[in-house]
Structure formats: C-alpha cells, structure tokens
C-alpha cells in the first residue's frame, strides 16, 4: 500500500487555491500529478497525496509546478469565495471511490483528446514539411531547367555566329580565287604559259598521271590515318546501393537506429568504477554476460532470489544493459517487491532509448512489468498507462488487449 502524505500545506484567496506537497527527495521526473475539477492526486512512489476538493475548480486554468523539493498546484476557483476546508469532510469510502473513478475517467478522456490532438498536429506538421520539401524540390528543378535553357540559348547563339563567320570566310576565299583567275586571264604571257604546260603535259603525260595517282594515294592514306578507331562493343554493369529502410530517406529512422546500435556497443564496453572492488571474484563472475545467463537460469528454475543476486552483481559491473534491470524487475514481481520492480522497470525504459524497432519487444516487456506492479499496488490508472504503452508497441497481442480491458473494467467498476 502507498504511504499517504499528510504534511502538505495550502493557502487560498477568493479566486485561487494553492497546495504545496513535499516531495521527500523525489526527482521531478518521478512525480505523477493527476488533476481534475474535483480531485487532485500527486504520486511519487511510495508516497501518495489525494485531495477530494471542497468545491469544483476550473481544471483548464489550473497549473502544477515541481521544483525546490515540492509540488505546487495552483487551482482557479469556479466560484469566487472563501472555502471552509480544502477537502470534503465526508469519510464515506464509496463517495470517495465514486469521485476518484469519475476523475480518472475525465483524466483518461483528457489524455485521449490530447493524444488525438498531438497525432493530428504531427500529421499536419508532416504534411506541411512534405509540401515544403516538394515546393523546394520544384523550385530547384525549375532553376536547373532555367539554367539549361539559358545554356542552350547561349550555345545556339555561339554556333550561329560561328557558322556565319565560316560562311563569310568561304565567300571571301571564293572572291580571292575569282580575282586571281581574272588577273591571270588579263596577263598576255598567260597563253604562252598555258601552251608550255600543255606541251609538257603531252610529252610527260605518263609522269603527270603517276604523280596525280601517288598524290591521291597519299591523301587517301592520310585520311584513313586521321579516322578514329571503331569502338568495341560490350555491356556496362550497373549496381545500386540496397535500401535498408522501407520508407523514404527524409522519413526514415536511420539516425535513431544508428544511435541505438552505438549505445548497445558502448554498453558492452562499459565497466563501473567498483569493478576493482570485485577483483577477488572468479573470472566468469566478473563477466556481466555470464552473470545474466546465470540469472536467467535461476529464474527459469524458480530461484528468484538467486536470480536477483546474479542480476545485481552484473549491474554493479555494467549499468548500461537494460535487460539486466528489466529481468531483475521480473524477479521482484515474483518476490512481491513491487516498488523495486517499478524502479527497475523505469530504469530499463530509460536505457531503451531511442525507441526503435530493435528494442520494441524489450520496451513492451518493461511497460508490462511496471504496469503489473502498479496494478498490484492498486494504482490502476498508472498501470493502465503502461499497458496502453505496451499495446501501442504490439497492437496485435491478444493477451495485452485482454489485460488492458480488464484494468479498464476495474477502474470503471464493471469488473466481475
């Protein structure tokens, strides 16, 4: 049973109520606060504070702050007037049970609505991010296409200018040729030169033909040398990097997976400072893996105390392995050490981060073990939260579905 807190303090004004609950050394991360319009609960194992309020308050305008060793709850009164007491004075257990159950149902509805709003916001954010990414990609494609078009226009203009220049050079060369021919025709010695050349051609026709033939062969050989060699035929093998994750890269969990693998590798290399204190043990007794296997065997044979000892020694050697805390929590459940089971399960969940597919089963087991401990302490609301978290990880488990529904029935008072 939890220990009820009685050393709280409270003050009020006409419009506000302030409640201060001492945390007795508990850290802010271990404090669970439930607040509705008529019921307040502050739970930090093994302590519990409950307040059945004297009059209803505005839950939406109320706040809670944890710090300086206390939880301070500020409540907005629905009706502005002085209260005679903080809580109702009725000692009727049934009345308090009814108020508690009604408050838990309101709290569950509030959590469900917040979860739904959070999911909708996440979907909206993802949609906005995707639209923004698509817009940026489209702008980038348009810029690339614009650069291509600009480069194509520049290249086309340069080619047209080069063609025009070549045409002008060809026309100039033809004009020079025509001028030379005209000059030669206008020269009186031109006829004699032509006659001499014709006589030489008739007398040495064979030699001229041979020279022309050799010149043609040389030109043909030169042209053949200038031609590039034909390309050899063949096949080009193309390989692609295999996809590791089924989703798109911007939606994948590559970073979380790598972080989890790195933490696993570091946990295998981690040794605590008190390893030197255990140097008198045997070699295998200083191996956390060997001790874990030893604890597993003890648990399987029903030696839960021996399993706790093995896991505890392994934890002294290495506090980075979440399975050691989770398995020791299972042993504490068997031994009815419920608060220790909650503490070890919470530590295992802290180490099982970031949440990835590789540690999904371990996270589900840790949630179930902590939820079972809460339920055995009759803290069904906290137990229901852990079972719902486990069911979210493994939604197709019929056993989890049945256990979660059974806890809901207990909270609503409809259990057989």
The verdict on residue 141 lying in a domain is no
- Last residue in a domain, options 87, 117, 137: 87
The verdict on residue 158 lying in a domain is no
Question: Within 10 Å of residue 96's Cβ, how many Cβ atoms?
Answer: 16
Nearest to 71, CA basis, from 24, 37, 38: 24
What does the chain come to in residues? Answer: 416
CATH label of the domain that carries residue 44: 2.60.40.790
CATH label of the domain that carries residue 371: 1.25.40.10
Distance CA 132, CA 242 (A): 28
- Last residue in a domain, options 33, 58, 87: 87
Q: What is the pLDDT of residue 341?
A: 94
In degrees and rounded to multiples of 5, residue 17 shows phi and psi of -130, 130
Average pLDDT, the chain: 80
The verdict on residue 398 lying in a domain is yes
pLDDT at residue 331 greater than cutoff 80: yes
Q: What is the pLDDT of residue 261?
A: 74
In degrees and rounded to multiples of 5, residue 345 shows phi and psi of -65, -40
Q: Say what percent of the chain tops pLDDT 70.
A: 78
pLDDT at residue 205 greater than cutoff 60: no
pLDDT at residue 307 greater than cutoff 80: yes
- Alpha-carbon distances of 16 from 59, 62, 76, 83, rounded to whole Å: 12, 9, 5, 10
The total number of structural domains in the chain stands at: 2
Q: Where are the alpha helices (DSSP H) in 227-359?
A: 254-269, 288-300, 304-317, 322-334, 338-351
- Which residues on neighbouring strands pair with residue 44, listed in sequence order? 47
Q: Which domain holds residue 335?
A: 274-412
Q: What is the pLDDT of residue 186?
A: 62
Q: What is the pLDDT of residue 79?
A: 86
The verdict on residue 358 lying in a domain is yes
The verdict on residue 19 lying in a domain is yes
The verdict on residue 283 lying in a domain is yes
Taking residues 102-120, report their average pLDDT. 82
Distance CA 171, CA 168 (A): 5
Q: What is the pLDDT of residue 90?
A: 65
pLDDT band at 194 (very low <50, low <70, confident <90, very high): very low
- Last residue in a domain, options 70, 87, 104: 87
The verdict on residue 300 lying in a domain is yes
Give 15-68 pLDDT, tens digit per residue. Answer: 898 988 888 777 777 888 888 888 888 888 888 888 888 888 888 888 888 888
Would you state the structure tokens that stand for residue 276, as one six-digit string?
Answer: 């030197």
Taking residues 103-124, report their average pLDDT. 83
Distance CA 384, CA 352 (A): 20
Q: pTM of the prediction?
A: 0.40
Over the range 235-258, which residues count as b (16 or more CB within 10 Å of their CB) and which as e? eeeeeeeeeeeeeeeeeeeeeebe
Distance CA 344, CA 329 (A): 5
pLDDT band at 223 (very low <50, low <70, confident <90, very high): very low
The verdict on residue 147 lying in a domain is no
pLDDT band at 189 (very low <50, low <70, confident <90, very high): low
Give 80-104 pLDDT, tens digit per residue. Answer: 888 888 888 766 677 777 777 888 8
Q: What is the pLDDT of residue 201?
A: 47
Distance CA 111, CA 388 (A): 12
């Amino acid at each position: 049973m939890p220990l009820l807190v009685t050393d709280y303090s409270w003050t009020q004004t006409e419009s506000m109520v302030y409640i201060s609950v001492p945390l007795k050394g508990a850290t802010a991360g271990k404090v669970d606060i439930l607040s509705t319009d008529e019921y307040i609960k502050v739970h930090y194992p093994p302590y519990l504070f409950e307040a059945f309020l004297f009059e209803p308050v505005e839950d939406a305008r109320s706040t809670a702050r944890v710090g300086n060793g206390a939880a301070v709850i500020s409540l907005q009164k629905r009706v502005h007037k002085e209260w005679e007491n903080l809580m109702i004075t009725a000692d009727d257990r049934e009345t308090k049970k009814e108020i508690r159950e009604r408050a838990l149902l309101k709290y569950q509805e509030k959590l469900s609505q917040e979860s739904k709003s959070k999911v909708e916001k996440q979907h909206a954010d993802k949609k906005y991010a995707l639209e923004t990414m698509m817009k940026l990609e489209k702008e980038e494609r348009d810029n690339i296409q614009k650069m291509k078009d600009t480069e194509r226009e520049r290249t086309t203009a340069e080619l047209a200018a080069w063609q025009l220049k070549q045409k002008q050079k060809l026309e100039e060369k033809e004009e020079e040729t025509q001028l030379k021919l005209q000059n030669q025709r206008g020269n009186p010695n031109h006829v004699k030169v032509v006659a001499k050349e014709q006589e030489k051609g008739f007398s040495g026709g064979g030699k001229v033909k041979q020279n022309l033939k050799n010149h043609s062969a040389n030109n043909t050989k030169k042209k053949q040398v200038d031609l590039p060699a034909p390309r050899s035929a063949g096949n080009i093998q193309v390989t692609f990097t295999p996809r590791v994750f089924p989703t798109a890269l911007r939606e994948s969990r590559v970073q979380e997976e790598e972080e989890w693998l790195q933490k696993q590798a570091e946990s295998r290399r981690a040794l605590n400072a008190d390893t030197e204190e255990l140097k008198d043990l045997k070699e295998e007794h200083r191996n956390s893996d060997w001790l874990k296997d030893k604890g597993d065997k003890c648990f399987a044979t029903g030696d839960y105390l021996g399993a706790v000892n093995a896991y505890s020694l392994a934890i002294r050697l290495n506090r980075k392995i979440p399975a050691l805390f989770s398995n020791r929590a299972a042993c504490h459940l068997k031994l009815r050490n419920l608060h220790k089971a909650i503490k070890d399960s919470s530590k295992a969940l802290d180490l099982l981060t970031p949440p990835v597919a590789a540690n999904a089963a371990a996270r589900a087991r840790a949630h179930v073990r902590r939820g079972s401990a809460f339920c055995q302490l009759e803290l069904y609301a906290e137990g229901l939260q852990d079972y719902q978290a486990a069911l979210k990880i493994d939604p197709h488990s019929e056993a989890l579905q049945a256990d979660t529904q059974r806890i809901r029935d207990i909270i609503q008072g409809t259990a057989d």
